[in-house]
Structure 1
Amino acid sequence: MVGRVTAWFDDAARDLPWRRTDCTPWGVLVSEVMLQQTPVVRVEPVWREWLRRWPTPSDLAAAPAAEVLRAWGRLGYPRRALRLHQCAGAIVERHDGAVPDDEAALRALPGIGEYTAAAVRAFAFGRRSVVVDTNVRRVLARTLAGTALAAPSPTAAERDLATAVVPDDDGAAARWAAASMELGALVCTARAPRCHACPVADLCAWRATGHPPDELAHRRRTQAWHGTDRQVRGRVMAALRVADEPVARALLADSGPDPAQVDRCLAGLIEDGLVEQDDAGCYRFPTP
């Protein structure tokens, strides 16, 4: 299976800037953080601008947090921007400004979890690691386990299966990581899999059993957006992003239909370190 998927990837891989040979480990790390729960089409222009402004961890670490949050734009989950900023500072302090290739050292950085550390090790350094994102989990669930989708949360058995599939050779393992992710993103999609275009369709356990439906569908819910705290938080952040000066509470009233909800979201943003309130009671992005 691995050989077929990587051979397919040789022809089908998207030409993404963070996959190119001239991309630095820092560029790969930034891309992996930005791509969390965010589609490529939204990430690519922001990634390009970030790498133009802050091509090294040292450059980002020296930037004001407010500037970093503004540059994050509308990617969503802005805590990722602050984590990247903190991560850059930690790389400067602990690793002389160079992204480490050791998985444990990567996981010790702010905002870098198991998946991101493994992905950076594979994609930035070409080293063997077990890279398992949502796309890979779905590919393995269908081809090997015969289920429509993976369990809502990763299991030990699932991780053991993923580990067993990864080739021993560094280069082959890194290629498999990229190829299996791409297969899940482009062909073995969640809602409309393109089985006719799959290089391992004849090996797929899910297809062989007649594409049985997802047994856990009742536990999977699409996250609501309109009227949620997340939407209100996004509107507050958007208002602060374009403001040259601290913004009065009255000017944020349109961020949500309920004043209590706006106040709750402001309090949450302050607690998360994304917003500050000055002595006049106005709101702004964090100052150095």
Structure 2
Amino acid sequence: ALPGVGDYTARAVMAFADHADVGVVDTNVARVLARVHNKVLGKKEVQLIADAIVPEGLGWEWNQVMMDFGATVCSARAPKCASCIINDHCGWRKIGGDDPAPATAGTSKPQSRFEGSDRQARGKLMKALVSGAVRIADAAKVMGLMEHQERSDVIVRGLLEDGLIAQANGWYQQP
């Protein structure tokens, strides 16, 4: 595995670059599958279902269709159930009840606030490293965390462990 490359990205590359017959589960695909099965699906379960329904030799096309279908027809806020071509197979449409999609693994959850977040601090350090190495002693300042050295250390440790930055001779730098 490569640092920063998760299951979704790896499967997307396999399907779209290599035309492999694997399911790519984004928020739209997870929503469609949860509604068709009318149940909350865990990460493993939604991936197994997605993999199982890819028609042989059509991985690229199938994943494009599934993502587009989830984005335009089986949307999160205003699904077009009345005109949906698969509503005869949709458990949620047939049985009704609470929409299982929001609690299904792979569907989008509202992100926490960005301003002041660890994501923002990491981004500041990564942006600085594009211009050149950053002294270890200056990392907290670069991230805007001068008053939060412990938090800065945790963020830097994560970046080091993920292989996104390197440390050498008192400096942080790109690997």
Instruction: Name the TM-score, length of structure 1 as normaliser.
Output: 0.46
RMSD over aligned Cα atoms: 3.6
Provide the residue aligned with 1:182 in structure 2: 68
Q: Deviations over 1:139-181 (max 9, x none)?
A: 12212x123xx4242228x72x44553334x24x543232112
- What secondary structure is seen at the aligned counterpart in 1 of 2:125? helix
Which AA in structure 2 matches 1:123? Answer: F
Provide the residue aligned with 2:112 in structure 1: 224
- 1:185 to partner: Cα distance: 2.9
Identity of aligned residues (%): 36
C-alpha separation between the residues in 1 aligned to 2:54 and 2:15? Answer: 11
- 1:253 to partner: Cα distance: 0.9
Q: Unaligned 5+ residue runs, structure 2?
A: none
- What secondary structure is seen at the aligned counterpart in 2 of 1:277? strand
Given the alignment, which residue of 236, 239, 258 partners 2:128? 239
Q: Unaligned 5+ residue runs, structure 1?
A: 1-77, 81-110
Instruction: Name the TM-score, length of structure 2 as normaliser.
Output: 0.68
Q: Deviations over 1:234-279 (max 9, x none)?
A: 22112222x2x42233375151342321232223222322223342
Provide the residue aligned with 2:45 in structure 1: 155
Provide the residue aligned with 1:138 in structure 2: 31
Distance 1:125 1:153, change over 3 A: closer
Given the alignment, which residue of 157, 164, 173 partners 1:274? 164
Distance 1:222 1:122, change over 3 A: closer
Is 1:204 equivalent to 2:90 in the alignment? yes
C-alpha separation between the residues in 2 aligned to 1:276 and 1:176? Answer: 40
Is 1:165 equivalent to 2:59 in the alignment? no
Which piece of structure 1 moves more, 132-141 or 232-241? Answer: 132-141
Which has a greater percent of helix? 1
- What secondary structure is seen at the aligned counterpart in 2 of 1:155? helix
Distance 1:200 1:122, change over 3 A: same
C-alpha separation between the residues in 1 aligned to 2:50 and 2:42? Answer: 16
